[in-house]
Structure 1
Amino acid sequence: MSAPQEPRPSGLKNPQAAVRGLGAGTLALETVVLLLMVAPLKTIAGDGSGPAIIMVLVLAVLAIVLAGSMKRSWAWAGGTALQVLLLLGGFLHWTLAAVGVIFGLTWVYVLHVRRTILG
């Protein structure tokens, strides 16, 4: 019989901080993309862009708050909820759903990396 294998170390000096940085960086990038959506959304959606722009701005604020809160365990669930809300924003305008798919897949990858590194 062989001895139980210990998990392989990640090679990172501080894996917790590295994973938090990845989550925070992803949310910060999402904030920038959301804010950059405002002008094109106003042009594309025209007069009906008000609710979609308000949602984009609220989600951008939420993303930056979550990015700063990555030390707390609830921030990871909040990041997942943010992606779901962005996808649901597709009911206001299709561009929100498109960005939601892109960042939703990115967030799934971030969660995979987190699980791989932290176990």
Structure 2
Amino acid sequence: MNSGLRNPPAAVRGLGAGALILETIVLLLGIQPLRMLDGDLNSAAIGVIVAAIVACVVLAGLLRHNWAWYAVGVLQGLLLLSGFLHWALAVLGLIFGLVWLYVLHVRRTILGSSGAPLS
């Protein structure tokens, strides 16, 4: 199937990296409002947010490796589980988990189900 893209693997990597950078921005901008509006945001929750920010940025640069696509899925699951620290983290994990499922659907549509490497 011809997608019409000049470089389909690069286009898919760009979509994945864009989604991760958007998640990074949302997480970064969400720290202060959560602290101000909800007094029970503890240092563990802030630590989880900072770790997720770092992981998103690092994984955005590593999407040329197939394992990184799975690692992002694990990251979304861990963010969802961190909802035990603060409910807003579970909401963000759910939202960006759904976004990531859509990114994976687009990846499968463009590259096919052959699991072709993205290099």
With the length of structure 1 as denominator, give the TM-score of the two structures: 0.90
Counterpart contact for 1:42–1:53, Cα < 8 Å: no
Counterpart contact for 1:20–1:70, Cα < 8 Å: yes
Q: Deviation at 1:77?
A: 0.7
Unaligned runs of 5+ in 2: 113-119
1:53 corresponds to: 46
**1:48–1:14 Cα change, 3 Å:** closer
Aligned to 2:64, the other structure's residue is in SS state coil
Q: Mark the structure with the bigger radius of gyration.
A: 1
Relative contact order: is structure 1 or structure 2 higher (C-alpha 8 Å, sep ≥ 6)?
A: 2
Counterpart contact for 1:52–1:92, Cα < 8 Å: yes
2:20 corresponds to: 27
- Could you say what the CA RMSD is over the residues aligned between the two structures, in angstroms? 1.0
Unaligned runs of 5+ in 1: 1-7
- Paired amino acid for 2:13: R
Deviates more, 1:42-51 or 1:31-40: 42-51
Q: Deviation at 1:44?
A: 3.4
Percent identical pairs in the alignment equals 59
Deviates more, 1:32-41 or 1:47-56: 47-56
- Paired amino acid for 1:103: F
Q: Deviation at 1:73?
A: 1.1
Q: Deviation at 1:37?
A: 1.2
Per-residue CA deviation, residues 5-38 of structure 1 (Å, 9 max, x unaligned), is xxx2000010000000000110011001111111
Counterpart contact for 1:87–1:100, Cα < 8 Å: yes
Q: Deviation at 1:47?
A: 5.0
Count residues in correspondence. Answer: 112
Q: Deviation at 1:48?
A: 4.5
With the length of structure 2 as denominator, give the TM-score of the two structures: 0.90
